Amino acid sequence: MKRMLFGLSLILVTSLSFAQKDAHQLSTHILDISEGAPAANVSIKLEKRNNKTESWEFVSEKLTEENGRVNDFLPAGKNNNGIYRFTFFVNEYYKEKGKETFYPFIEVVFEIKDEKHYHVPITLSAFGYSTYRGS
């Protein structure tokens, strides 16, 4: 009976974790390569390009978790197609570490063209960064 309850609990936890992953279309992650660790408590703003007015419209702003991730940008299951901009506010992150940085913030512009999941992470150091489309 204990094994059966453990098995059912494992199935429930596993399905809930997959459900969470599928609930949002866009995620990001910051890895501080100079520290070899995730960058926690970094504020990230998401904006969407309004092509008619040629301006950026605020969508949301979130903080990275202890693992350097934000997994819940843009709910899945609706048309989120468009051009977006992440602004990673890294200056405060480095101030808290007592370090100087060349980049007070980093902007990454990308386009969502379908309903697939988009993961847009950055690797970061005080004097450089890189981004790519992850999975």
Q: Do residues 25 and 75 make contact, with C-beta atoms less than 8 angstroms apart?
A: yes
More confident: 87 or 8: 87
High-pLDDT (> 70) share of the chain, %: 84
CA max distance for the chain: 63
pLDDT in tens, 34-74: 999 999 999 999 999 999 999 999 999 999 999 999 999 99
- Residue 13 reports pLDDT greater than 70: no
**Mean model confidence pLDDT for the chain:** 88
71/26 Cα distance (integer angstroms) = 7
Q: What is the pLDDT of residue 8?
A: 42
- Residue 4 reports pLDDT greater than 90: no
pTM of the model: 0.82
